Amino acid sequence: MSIVSIRNVEKRFGKLEVLKDISLEVADGEIISVIGSSGSGKSTLLRCLTRLETVNGGTIVIDGDTMVETTDGKPVYAKEAVLKQIRLKTGLVFQNFNLFPHYTVLRNITEAPIHVAGQSREEATAEARRLLKKLGLEDKEDAYPCQLSGGQSQRVSIARALALKPKILFFDEPTSALDPELTGEVLRVIRSLTDLHMTMVIVTHEMAFAREISDRIIFMDQGVIVEDGTPEEVFGSENPRTREFLGNYNQSSI
């Protein structure tokens, strides 16, 4: 059974069609990587799934709740209560972390569990400390974001997302803002999350990582899904667009 169901989703910015009739099913617990060149609509897809953007057409169902449905060409979003429920089930890790600079690491993580999910301060703090330990940041709880390296910042932002116990976690190029030597520590952390059996959709340019971690890989090009298959299928694809994209990657990584 799908935990994320996307049917015929369309998104335009003015005249620019960024998502063209995207359909995708994600099974519960599945780990999916989304690859594709810059401007192909990967971020926009995640932003539509997390309601940072509204779609121009199509249907999105998340964990049984319909977020948006299109009848007679008009997308209609669910009631606020349903949207709120969906919100609690999904998290998003940004490329630029977007940590709150005026809060300590600990408060960055506990603020939403306390003020959104209604947890007690003790409960939220204990959970935050457990997550910081898991992500190797136990000595950073009193630090401010400006005192962290990029890799540490991204790990804090992952902890912040995990603190709300989402069923689905979206990552938008979580290592693209990092130096190569810091990329590894963040990828290791994401890899360590696989034992939580959480559904993960990861937009990434780290091909080796995508190949190793994913159950499925989606290749997007100019707003359409060109490939949807196992890593073996996608990396062995005969499709010329796919081969060209992956070929560029092989060249640039040599």
Ligand X SMILES: Nc1ncnc2c1ncn2[C@@H]1O[C@H](COP(=O)(O)OP(=O)(O)O)[C@@H](O)[C@H]1O
Binding site for other proteins (CB under 8 A): 50-52, 84, 87-88, 90-92, 94, 96, 98-102, 111-112, 115-117, 144-146, 157, 160-161, 164
Instruction: Return the number of the residue (92 or 226) whose C-beta is nearest other proteins.
Output: 92
Candidates 11-19, 102-110, 180-188, 245-253; binding stretch for ligand X (CB under 6 A):
11-19
Instruction: Return the number of the residue (42 or 155) whose C-beta is nearest Mg ion.
Output: 42
Nearest distance, CB of residue 170 and other proteins, angstroms: 9
DSSP secondary structure letters along 176-229: TTS-HHHHHHHHHHHHHGGGGT-EEEEE-S-HHHHHHH-SEEEEEETTEEEEEE
Would you call 72 helix, strand, or coil by DSSP? Answer: coil
DSSP secondary structure letters along 13-45: ETTEEEEEEEEEEEETT-EEEEE--TTSSHHHH
Q: Which of 101, 239, 86 is closest to 164 using CA atoms?
A: 86
Candidates 25-33, 41-49, 84-92, 155-163; binding stretch for ligand X (CB under 6 A):
41-49
Query: Position of tokens 């890989």?
Result: 217
Candidates 42-50, 78-86, 141-149, 226-234; binding stretch for Mg ion (CB under 5 A):
42-50
Should residue 43 be labelled a site residue for Mg ion when binding is judged by CB under 5 A?
A: yes
Contact between residue 169 and residue 199 where contact means Cβ atoms under 8 Å apart = yes
Distance CA 189, CA 161 (A): 13
The DSSP output letter for 140 is: G
Binding to ligand X by CB under 6 A, coded x per residue (else -) over 17-36, reads -x-----------------x
Nearest distance, CB of residue 18 and ligand X, angstroms: 4
Residues that bind ligand X (CB under 6 A): 13, 16, 18, 36, 38-44
